[in-house]
Amino acid sequence: MDWSKGKSQKNIMNELKETRKKDFTFSSSRILGSMCTAPHPLAQQAAALYMETNMGDPELFLGTKELEKRVLNMAADLLHAPPNYGGLFLSGGTESNLTALHIARSLSHKKEIIISQSAHFSLQKAASLLKLKLRIVPTQKYQMDVHKIANLVNDHTAGVMAVAGTTGLGIIDPIPDIANLCHEENLFFHVDAAFGGFIIPFLKKQGYPLPQFDFALPGVSSISLDPHKMGCSVIPSGLFFIREKKWFEAISVDTPYISAKKQASLSGTRPGASVAATYAVMRHLGQEGYIDMAKRCIDLTLYTKKVLQQSGFSLITDPPLNILGIQVSKPFQVSQKLLKKGWSISYNTQLHCLRLVIMPHIKKRLIDQFVTDLQDVIKC
């Protein structure tokens, strides 16, 4: 492309609007397989207001730094974090998992991490970068089996990682049992609640019988949760917490020529826009707002399950959260046919299923239309 000469702002905006038409949009309610959703309008406004800010140079942006503290405090409270907790605003689940493994390795000087078969693929990247060996625990009814974890623990184990809301099916690993084991064995235990962190606590507050997964369990060492998933903030937004702030020292580097003296985050420059957006949406919705949203998503998940079953489809398992696995024999082919009908849906070839994530942008009437289209696609 020849870009030696500039182009007018108006022409560029027209070009951008045209190109954007090729994208799916959350507002169309046709994105059925994404863990992200439309950022709350207030989050978008807040991000625009803080666009130039950088968390990597906090002395320049003291106000934004203050917002980061407020966000971390609100989320820490939700997760029953102890007074000496440490927190960081990161870019999402991948960076948080990498940070957790980095800390586990640095504190223990050991080289093996025990993870679930259904852990997110970001763990493979983290292990490869950190030269850690992944010991993979096969799942039992899609959950990590605590006895199998115990069998894998040895002198080289740096830590264990479990998931609160798996990417594939929204499964919550038996975190209280794993936390007990890790506490007894003095192992670092990271809980990946990238997806579940902004829905499980709110469902629990409504009385849903979901297990404890946070710092209330003494064996939990770190937790990640993503505001850019169920938190309805802008991309990129990730929150990472550790039980003891001093553990950050194990991975921090000196930063001689910027305002902060040390830095624990992998990224140097970090967007304050994401921090402001997350603060705005969390403070605006409040826990009550998230409770309503969580309940709406679960009610719609149960409705979807009912309509699917009435139409002759089977689910892989009962959904503990707002993710459904629909059994089909050729998930990839079915997803491609659905794409031609204007639906974006993900698939899992290992579990032989289509994967629906019932996010806040999905509307009930579109579910009916989707199930009708799915029946048509399966028939032909």
**Where does this chain bind ligand 0PR (CB under 6 A)?**
34-36, 92-94, 97, 120, 122, 163, 167, 192, 194-195, 226
Residue 2 exposure: Cα atoms within 13 Å on the Cβ side:
1
Residue with smaller CB distance to ligand 0PR, 84 or 269:
269
How far, in whole angstroms, is CA 61 from its chain's centroid?
27
Residue with smaller CB distance to ligand 0PR, 86 or 238:
238
Residue with smaller CB distance to ligand 0PR, 36 or 374:
36
Q: How far apart are the first and last CA of the chain?
A: 43
What DSSP element (H or E) covers 37? none
Residue with smaller CB distance to ligand 0PR, 223 or 377:
223
Residue with smaller CB distance to ligand 0PR, 47 or 194:
194
DSSP 8-state class, residue 245 = G
Residue with smaller CB distance to ligand 0PR, 36 or 158:
36
Query: Nearest approach, Cβ of 289 to ligand 0PR (angstroms)?
Result: 22
Task: Give residue for tokens 């990238």.
Answer: 194
Query: Nearest approach, Cβ of 28 to ligand 0PR (angstroms)?
Result: 14
Query: Nearest approach, Cβ of 115 to ligand 0PR (angstroms)?
Result: 11
As a whole number of angstroms, the distance between CA 234 and CA 228 comes to 5
As a whole number of angstroms, the distance between CA 359 and CA 23 comes to 18
Query: Nearest approach, Cβ of 226 to ligand 0PR (angstroms)?
Result: 5
Residue with smaller CB distance to ligand 0PR, 68 or 192:
192
> Which has the closest alpha carbon to 370: 9, 33, 7?
33
CA 230, 233, 235, 238 torsion: positive or negative?
negative
DSSP 8-state class, residue 344 = B
How far, in whole angstroms, is CA 77 from its chain's centroid?
19
Angle at 137 between CA 135 and CA 143, to 5 degrees: 150
Residue with smaller CB distance to ligand 0PR, 219 or 238:
238
Residue with smaller CB distance to ligand 0PR, 255 or 348:
348
> Which has the closest alpha carbon to 322: 75, 43, 96, 32?
32
Query: Nearest approach, Cβ of 228 to ligand 0PR (angstroms)?
Result: 6
Query: Nearest approach, Cβ of 93 to ligand 0PR (angstroms)?
Result: 3
Task: Give residue for tokens 């038996």.
Answer: 174
Contact call for residues 89 and 53 (beta carbons, < 8 A): no
Instruction: Count CB neighbours of 303 within 10 A.
Output: 14
Which residue has its beta carbon closest to ligand 0PR?
A: 93
As a whole number of angstroms, the distance between CA 39 and CA 234 comes to 5
Query: Nearest approach, Cβ of 178 to ligand 0PR (angstroms)?
Result: 15
Residue with smaller CB distance to ligand 0PR, 58 or 92:
92
> Which has the closest alpha carbon to 170: 36, 324, 352?
324
Query: Nearest approach, Cβ of 376 to ligand 0PR (angstroms)?
Result: 25
Query: Nearest approach, Cβ of 237 to ligand 0PR (angstroms)?
Result: 9
As a whole number of angstroms, the distance between CA 210 and CA 202 comes to 10
Query: Nearest approach, Cβ of 94 to ligand 0PR (angstroms)?
Result: 3
What DSSP element (H or E) covers 330? none
Contact call for residues 179 and 218 (beta carbons, < 8 A): yes
- Rounded to the nearest 10°, the torsion over CA 98, 103, 104, 105 is 90
